[in-house]
Chains A and B, each alone.
Chain A
């Protein structure tokens, strides 16, 4: 049973460019959340998708957008990249059980030059 998979694992962009990160949730999971983790800090919640809609959003600008597909996979898009967007982007999924157990992927390491 594959866990949460994310791609790409590493990527380098320059300021002003746009990036798309992808996430496939754990089998049977229908809810996907995205987190940004800067070096030395804890993960910060970006947004959560359920039934192809954004359900919750953290304190991130509109440059951060997402999408969830009918197969529950998800994308995170970041436009007009800034140096400060350099971070590890984590995707987490959960199923219908009412527990706080999120399953995280290994993350996508984004470096903005």
Chain B
């Protein structure tokens, strides 16, 4: 599984856009990029997944450049409830792969009023 590198922490104010960039230089051709969110004492929660270019859902956008060696999770207009740890994961499909994600330390995002 490809190793990922992301900032340890980021601070933001309510209403701002938060962009978290993850580096994954050794991403394989069939790997997808997946982001999870985790609140204290809870299990991680899936946010978004993408392979290339841009993916958007109701909570976030994921930007992936052509070389796929990095990706950026964008959280629009954050609120206090977005304070959490965000994990960037890289892995390929299939029964044998998805379940064994390699979580790093994640990025602690703190949103203040």
Contact = CB atoms under 8 A, between A and B. Distances in A.
Interface of A: 4, 31-33, 35, 41-45, 48, 50, 55-56, 58, 88, 90, 92, 94, 98-107, 109
Interface of B: 32, 34, 41-46, 49, 85, 87, 89, 91, 93-96, 98-106
Contacts of B99: 31-33, 45, 48, 50, 55-56, 92, 94, 102
A99 B44 contact: no
23 contacts: A32-B99, A35-B103, A42-B85, A42-B87, A42-B105, A48-B96, A55-B95, A90-B44, A94-B98, A98-B98, A99-B49, A99-B93, A99-B98, A100-B34, A100-B89, A100-B91, A101-B46, A103-B46, A106-B41, A107-B41, A107-B42, A107-B43, A109-B41
Contacts of A33: 99-100
A33 B98 CA distance: 9
A100 B43 contact: no
Contacts of B85: 42
A90 B94 CA distance: 21
A48 B99 CA distance: 6
